[in-house]
């Protein structure tokens, strides 16, 4: 498995003020596999997701994608690298800009990378269909849709650049059982089609075991020092 393309957090250390949250943590996600991440509340799971999603620069250690180290100045990661990894978080309300329609929410990352508008429309329609958002729902803003519908838009947005790695941080925790199953099925299909590596965080042990090829325990890897 050593030569399999992978996303790697290598000896990563992150602190907030004087609190060390991750202390030389190493986690590897191979293309095509699903890694479950578990650990008690506050042990740094979401922090690790932000590091792997290239949203938070670690104090020490590094992230690499398929062997390419992310060495960005002030963490302005080049688009070609940044779009290889996407994350889906627990609360779509916190993640979604309330001013945008669901269509624009899904389209935004494409427009940010100057994708021609015709290609943007085509990709948004394809993804909205994939996650089951009707034309009526797509035209609405976040306040006018349910959490499940908004999370499906966030999933479409996460997939818009065809990432090789998808990080799901309690992504189905606040969804009802049928929406949860729908979101999980879309992620699974995407993973199989793309041979994507997936990281799953969940406090639901049954769900974690069902989804994961292997589970990494973060508990105890980071002795919190204050
Ligand atoms: N931006 C921040 N500034 C200061 N402290 C933070 C920040 N983000 C997280 N923390 C702290 O870092 C620790 C780890 O938080 P994190 O959200 O990564 O843990 P977690 O394992 O995902 O928790 P949970 O399972 O409850 O979601 C917590 O003590 C949290 O309060």
What pLDDT was estimated at residue 79?
A: 87
pTM of the model: 0.92
Residue nearest to atom 27 of ligand 1 (CA): 41
- d(C-alpha 34, C-alpha 58), whole Å: 23
* Residues 67 and 45 placed together within one structural domain of the fold: yes
Q: Give residue 206 CA to ligand 1 midpoint distance, Å.
A: 23
> 10 pairs with which residues across the strands?
62
* Residues 80 and 174 placed together within one structural domain of the fold: yes
Expressed as residue numbers, the domain containing 130 is 96-160
Name the domain boundary from 108, 131, 160: 160
Complex ipTM: 0.96
What pLDDT was estimated at residue 220?
A: 53
Name the domain boundary from 129, 144, 160: 160
**Which of 20, 45, 51, 59 best tests ligand 1's pocket when mutated (most atoms within 8 Å of CB)?**
45
* Residues 119 and 64 placed together within one structural domain of the fold: no
pLDDT in tens, the chain (226 residues): 568 999 999 999 999 999 999 999 999 999 999 999 999 999 999 999 999 999 999 999 999 999 989 876 666 788 888 999 999 999 888 888 999 999 999 999 999 999 999 999 999 999 999 999 999 999 999 999 999 999 999 999 999 999 999 999 999 888 888 889 999 999 999 999 999 999 999 999 999 999 999 999 997 544 444 4
* Residues 79 and 22 placed together within one structural domain of the fold: yes
**Which of 22, 42, 57 best tests ligand 1's pocket when mutated (most atoms within 8 Å of CB)?**
42
Total number of domains in the chain: 2
Q: Look at residue 91 and tell me if it is in a domain.
A: no
- d(C-alpha 6, C-alpha 2), whole Å: 9
- d(C-alpha 162, C-alpha 165), whole Å: 9
**Which of 12, 13, 15, 16 best tests ligand 1's pocket when mutated (most atoms within 8 Å of CB)?**
16
CATH number at residue 53: 3.40.50.300
* DSSP category for residue 221: T
* Residues 56 and 8 placed together within one structural domain of the fold: yes
Residue nearest to atom 10 of ligand 1 (CA): 16
Nearest CA to 27 out of 188, 218, 203, 204 is that of 218
Residue nearest to atom 1 of ligand 1 (CA): 16
Name the domain boundary from 160, 187, 210: 160
What pLDDT was estimated at residue 224?
A: 46
Q: Give residue 174 CA to ligand 1 midpoint distance, Å.
A: 19
Pocket of ligand 1 (CB under 6 A): 16, 21, 39, 41-47
What pLDDT was estimated at residue 76?
A: 77
* Residues 169 and 65 placed together within one structural domain of the fold: yes
Cα 172–chain centre separation: 12
């Amino acid at each position: 498995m050593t030569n399999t393309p992978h996303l790697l957090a290598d000896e990563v250390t992150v602190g907030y003020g004087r609190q060390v949250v991750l202390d030389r943590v190493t986690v590897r996600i191979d293309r095509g596999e699903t890694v479950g991440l578990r650990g008690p509340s506050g042990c740094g799971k979401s922090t690790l997701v932000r590091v792997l999603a290239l949203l938070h620069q670690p104090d020490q250690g590094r992230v690499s994608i398929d062997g390419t180290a992310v060495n960005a100045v002030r963490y302005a990661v080049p688009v070609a690298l940044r779009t290889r990894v996407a994350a889906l978080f627990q609360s779509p309300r916190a993640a979604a800009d309330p001013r945008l329609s669901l269509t624009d929410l899904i389209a935004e990352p494409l427009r940010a990378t100057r994708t021609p508008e015709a290609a943007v429309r085509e990709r948004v329609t394809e993804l909205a269909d994939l996650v089951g958002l009707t034309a009526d729902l797509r035209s609405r803003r976040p306040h006018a849709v349910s959490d499940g519908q908004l999370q499906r838009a966030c999933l479409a947005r996460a997939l818009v650049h065809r990432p090789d790695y998808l990080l799901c941080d309690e992504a189905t925790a606040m969804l009802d059982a049928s929406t949860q199953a729908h979101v999980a099925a879309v992620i699974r299909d995407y993973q199989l089609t793309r041979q994507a590596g997936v990281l799953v965080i969940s406090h639901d042990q049954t769900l974690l075991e069902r989804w994961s090829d292997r589970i990494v325990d973060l508990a105890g890897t980071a002795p919190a020092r204050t």
